[in-house]
Amino acid sequence: MPRGRRPLPNVGPRESSIMRVLWAHPEDYLSVRDVSEALDADIAYTTVMTLLSRLYDKGLVGRRRQGRGYAYRPRVSQSQYQARVMSTALRRDVDVPEVLFHFVGDLTPKEQATLRGLLKDGA
């Protein structure tokens, strides 16, 4: 991986739901209860606690002591995470130019203009 990045950890659907809750409050540490109450899905409190602990072990969330438990917040932004998902997908494919061709072809004209500007600026 370029620039010393670790491979992207696998994140399941319930972990993704939890990350969306945390990304909605990127600067705040949320308790397990806060996350549990914000989830649309009916997931047990103890399951949310386990999933947050796994996300911490994967390096996707940070935590700090809050009372007898922990409060959590994302260590990477949603944009950073999605960019890593895209990079990981590109590295799995044997025909990167073909994948990029289809990816760019699926972009809206506004998204294509944004991409052109970023490439022109050397981002």
Task: Tell me the pLDDT tens digit for each residue of 39-76.
Answer: 977 899 999 999 999 999 999 999 999 999 999 999 99
Q: How far apart are CA 115 and CA 120, in angstroms?
A: 8
Residue pair 61/73 in contact by the 8 Å Cβ criterion: yes
> pTM (2 decimals)?
0.78
- Name the DSSP letter for residue 61: E
The per-residue pLDDT for range 97-108, each reduced to its tens digit, is 888 888 899 999
